[in-house]
Structure 1
Amino acid sequence: MQRRGTKIVATLGPASSDPALLEQMIRAGVNCVRLNFSHGTAQDHIDRARLVREAATRAGREVAIMADLQGPKIRVGKFADGKVQLETGMKFVLDASRTEPGDINGVGLDYKELPRDVKAGDTLLLNDGLIVMTVDAVRGEQVHATVKIGGVLSNNKGINKQGGGLTAPALTAKDMEDIRTAMSFQADYVAVSFPQNASDMEMARQLCNVAGAEYRHKPGLIAKIERAEAIPNLEAICKASDGIMVARGDLAIEVGNAAVPALQKRMIKMARDLDKVVITATHMMESMITNPVPTRAEVSDVANAVLDGTDAVMLSAESATGKYPVETIRTMTAIALAAERSQVYELDSDFINQQFVRVDQAIAMAALFTAFHLNVKAIAALSQSGSTALWMSRHDSGVPIYALTPEVSAARRAALYRGVRPVVVPFDSDRENALLSAENALKSRGAVGDGDLIVLSCGEPMGKSGGTNALKVVRVGEHRG
């Protein structure tokens, strides 16, 4: 039976916080659970992280936890009646100095810098772009605008500027506190909202490393690409991160819906070329929030992301508040499997003009090449950090890759790598004993049987991170002295 290579990220929320349901979701195919720090208290996230760890243990899976930071609150304030109905042609004032609740004429701002970030003629998009306003004038703390496309505007809805240009910093005081919370339960990944450049990601890494020091934990960093300003800096942001998220919601509002599909393809390719992880997110199975089956367009959307090479596809409201979280995960699994089954592997072209500066990277590529041409059943990468398995997973060989590591944190990180199955295996300092343990671990999971060929990569001395320097092809069950 073919095993799915593409990973599934599911957002935890009211619809999915029951321990039994969460275990069902993990068994149905969830590889990473997203905790959305835009909602809930620190204790809520600590409690949910514990639920995830317990459910994953019961399911016998290594599941990553991703702490998704809120980022800057670029939002309107609250209304006296909770919402207003804006009609096309109306005048409306966005007022940074307003303290009383909003009404049909205007509203206060959570984002106080808006009057300094906009000028007459700019287009503002509110409530995920459903409401469009043109700026007429900026007078002190007030942005005077005309409604071009009306609709219902309710409390704390988001504001975007078409084409980008809002100066809000990527990391807020709340984010810094949330990083400390995330490190207290050793979140495997931290997703940074609205980074504009590599410096934003470098600052986030420093904060994570400082907050994680007492736990001896360093998370992977995911840059959420959702600002127009991030696009010219894409390569630098990618290099400063461990992965990127194609956050199609805010990005589409800023750059326009039509530009997003090509950007998505470009981002997925760039991430893979730079040996980074990539997650495709937002509205992937939106209709399944309320319906038990997806639309055909959603099926194509997920399948195309898989065919483009994304490591993971992500669910937001579908799993956080939707009526069918388990069914959505099963459906996504089926779509990914069908897309992967259709792929033709042409690994050799990946090796043309390749040059390696690191021995461990060269071993990773040699393992792929050997497995591809030798009808090998599995590749086993024995690794402290899981980096060797990550490098292998950047190329499609059609051969399952097992990341065998004694480090639980490395196994959880590897849960997000496409085509990689993480397994926690204690290593013996003797290489032959370690290789035998690896072989037995694969046999016990039904991944290989007697007579199958497997490719093993490891390092000498055993237990040294970044030390992969050996490659071995073995036939399962053969006595080795």
Structure 2
Amino acid sequence: MSRIVVTLGPATQEPAVLEQVVKAGADSFRFPASKASVASLADLASRVAALAAGLGQSPDLLLDLPGAKTRFTNDDQFSLAGLSRVRVHFTPVPSDVHREVPVLGLTGADISGQVEPGDLILIGDGEDALRVEHVAPDHCVTIPLSGGFLGKRRGVALPGKSVPASRLTDQDRAALQTLPGSIFTAVIISFVESADSVREARDIMTASAAGHRVPPVIAKVETRAGAAAAREIAACADAVLLGRGDLLLDSGPLEFFDLCENVRTATADAHCPLIVGTQLLTSLSAGWMPHRSELACVSELLRAGTAALMLADETAAGTAPVRTVELLRELRERYSPRPGPAPLFAARTAAPAGQGA
């Protein structure tokens, strides 16, 4: 039976809500390090583990390292509605979203050489977009094409552009050194496009393990290049996370399904656990009934025996996190081919610490 991975965020950090989420069926938790320090996430993970233990549960605690993804620098949220222009700097300058023309800086992979007038800048998983009007050496001026609410440090993408984000950052490496012996039971590395990234992450942890167990490595595949290398990645990683949000931004809508199928087939052939995430049941935040397409997709993933399904915005920022987990649990009980959620890494962690499967 598939495991239910809940991404923690503002909607699920209060103890009362966390308790409801665990009771509703969550058996794994994801802690994104893109907007918080690893130390603060470790404190949160300890609270989650203690709360779950009080309910007789021992969930997976998954630290998600952000990699070199390009992100805005804003800590204040604001709406794009009614704005005529937004100024985007290519360097991590402090954002000022309260100006008549808001100013946003960027961290992560450098996009300065990629941006041209007329280009689209997609925000998040593509919910909002900016059109580039003018490009200067250190910034561009953009026109909002949507009126959505821009949350804290959202990721950005340039469809059709090759922006290098497939390397471990210095921040990733520093975090990996602290993980053996920590509260986290596994680590997710982002934008994996070859088995080399998995080996590097494992080597970093092994070098600092000092006798502690090296946590399993989950390789997040979320680009065309990553999907093309899915077989070698699945042969090396302890699990693969299919990040459908960034994959769609990189692939475009026509290639998307074929790339997802390539990852699914590669992980199945390698007997590597597959986690599928991004927009599984997001419609529950906008209405009482889920979208029919979401129900069909989730039910098919469960029936296929997918190792885990990961809720992201649904539980991190959605308006109905508990109800979403409850529905996913009920769908799991109906459509999963096996009774009871199986351990995520049972078949991939028999090797000694630091060795691949």
TM-score > 0.5 by shorter chain: yes
Q: Are 1:198 and 2:126 counterparts?
A: no
Match of 1:369 in 2: none
Match of 1:172 in 2: 169
Q: Are 1:250 and 2:246 counterparts?
A: yes
Query: Relative to structure 2, which stretch is displaced further, 73-82 or 195-204?
Result: 73-82
State the one-letter code of the partner of 1:321.
Answer: A
* C-alpha deviation, 1:274, in angstroms: 0.4
Specify which of 130, 133, 136 is matched with residue 131 of structure 2. Answer: 133
Distance in 1 (CA, whole Å) between partners of 2:155 and 2:294 is 25
Q: Are 1:70 and 2:66 counterparts?
A: yes
Q: Is the 8 A contact 2:46 2:183 kept in 1?
A: no
State the one-letter code of the partner of 1:95.
Answer: H
Match of 2:18 in 1: 22
Q: Is the 8 A contact 1:289 1:322 kept in 2?
A: yes
Post-superposition Cα deviations, 1:6-54, rounded to whole Å, max 9, x if no partner, equal: 1111122343334454344334322211112223333432222222322
RMSD over equivalenced CA pairs, Å: 3.6
Q: Is the 8 A contact 1:292 1:328 kept in 2?
A: no
- How has the CA–CA distance of structure 1 residues 298 and 146 changed in structure 2, closer, same or farther, with 3 Å as cutoff? same
The SS at the match of 1:313 is: strand
Alignment of 1:339-418 (within 5 A): 339-340=335-336, 415-416=343-344
Q: Is the 8 A contact 2:80 2:144 kept in 1?
A: no
The SS at the match of 1:229 is: helix
* C-alpha deviation, 1:175, in angstroms: 2.1
Which segments of 5 or more consecutive residues in structure 1 lack a partner in the other structure? 342-397, 403-413, 422-464, 468-481
- How has the CA–CA distance of structure 1 residues 256 and 135 changed in structure 2, closer, same or farther, with 3 Å as cutoff? farther
Q: Is the 8 A contact 2:228 2:262 kept in 1?
A: no
Q: TM-score, normalised by structure 1?
A: 0.62
Q: Is the 8 A contact 2:131 2:144 kept in 1?
A: yes
Q: Is the 8 A contact 1:32 1:66 kept in 2?
A: yes
* C-alpha deviation, 1:192, in angstroms: 0.8
The SS at the match of 2:175 is: helix
Distance in 2 (CA, whole Å) between partners of 1:321 and 1:168 is 25
* C-alpha deviation, 1:193, in angstroms: 1.4
Post-superposition Cα deviations, 1:384-440, rounded to whole Å, max 9, x if no partner, equal: xxxxxxxxxxxxxx6x699xxxxxxxxxxx6226xx89xxxxxxxxxxxxxxxxxxx
Query: Relative to structure 2, which stretch is displaced further, 274-283 or 101-110?
Result: 101-110
Q: Are 1:222 and 2:218 counterparts?
A: yes
Distance in 2 (CA, whole Å) between partners of 1:18 and 1:98 is 31
State the one-letter code of the partner of 1:416.
Answer: L
* C-alpha deviation, 1:147, in angstroms: 4.6
State the one-letter code of the partner of 1:190.
Answer: V
- How has the CA–CA distance of structure 1 residues 223 and 335 changed in structure 2, closer, same or farther, with 3 Å as cutoff? same
Distance in 1 (CA, whole Å) between partners of 2:27 and 2:149 is 36
The SS at the match of 2:61 is: strand
* C-alpha deviation, 1:61, in angstroms: 3.3
Distance in 2 (CA, whole Å) between partners of 1:12 and 1:151 is 26
Distance in 2 (CA, whole Å) between partners of 1:267 and 1:235 is 8
Query: Relative to structure 2, which stretch is displaced further, 243-252 or 13-22?
Result: 13-22
Alignment of 1:62-101 (within 5 A): 62-78=58-74, 94-96=88-90, 99=93, 101=95
Match of 2:355 in 1: none
Q: Is the 8 A contact 1:84 1:152 kept in 2?
A: yes
Structure number, greater radius of gyration: 1
* C-alpha deviation, 1:168, in angstroms: 3.3
* C-alpha deviation, 1:146, in angstroms: 6.4
Count of aligned residue pairs for this structure pair: 345
Post-superposition Cα deviations, 1:40-88, rounded to whole Å, max 9, x if no partner, equal: 333432222222322333333332111111222402444999565587x
* C-alpha deviation, 1:313, in angstroms: 0.8
Specify which of 253, 264, 268 is matched with residue 268 of structure 1. Answer: 264
State the one-letter code of the partner of 2:90.
Answer: A
The SS at the match of 2:71 is: coil
* C-alpha deviation, 1:338, in angstroms: 2.3
The SS at the match of 1:185 is: coil
Distance in 1 (CA, whole Å) between partners of 2:18 and 2:340 is 26
State the one-letter code of the partner of 2:200.
Answer: M
Distance in 1 (CA, whole Å) between partners of 2:207 and 2:323 is 40
| Higher RCO (C-alpha 8 Å, min separation 6) | 2
Match of 1:189 in 2: 186
The SS at the match of 1:222 is: strand
- How has the CA–CA distance of structure 1 residues 206 and 152 changed in structure 2, closer, same or farther, with 3 Å as cutoff? same
Which segments of 5 or more consecutive residues in structure 2 lack a partner in the other structure? 353-357
Q: Is the 8 A contact 2:30 2:61 kept in 1?
A: yes
- How has the CA–CA distance of structure 1 residues 79 and 325 changed in structure 2, closer, same or farther, with 3 Å as cutoff? closer
Q: Are 1:334 and 2:330 counterparts?
A: yes
State the one-letter code of the partner of 1:295.
Answer: H
- How has the CA–CA distance of structure 1 residues 322 and 146 changed in structure 2, closer, same or farther, with 3 Å as cutoff? closer
Match of 1:286 in 2: 282
* C-alpha deviation, 1:280, in angstroms: 0.8
Post-superposition Cα deviations, 1:141-180, rounded to whole Å, max 9, x if no partner, equal: 44x5765945458464422121351123532222233334
Distance in 2 (CA, whole Å) between partners of 1:79 and 1:330 is 31
- How has the CA–CA distance of structure 1 residues 323 and 77 changed in structure 2, closer, same or farther, with 3 Å as cutoff? closer
- How has the CA–CA distance of structure 1 residues 81 and 66 changed in structure 2, closer, same or farther, with 3 Å as cutoff? closer
* C-alpha deviation, 1:286, in angstroms: 0.9
* C-alpha deviation, 1:245, in angstroms: 1.0
Distance in 1 (CA, whole Å) between partners of 2:222 and 2:246 is 5
Distance in 2 (CA, whole Å) between partners of 1:226 and 1:326 is 27
Query: Relative to structure 2, which stretch is displaced further, 157-166 or 217-226?
Result: 157-166
Post-superposition Cα deviations, 1:189-229, rounded to whole Å, max 9, x if no partner, equal: 11111223222222122222234x13511111111112233
Question: Percentage identity across aligned positions?
Answer: 25
Q: Are 1:115 and 2:115 counterparts?
A: no
State the one-letter code of the partner of 1:191.
Answer: I
* C-alpha deviation, 1:278, in angstroms: 0.6
Distance in 2 (CA, whole Å) between partners of 1:36 and 1:164 is 25
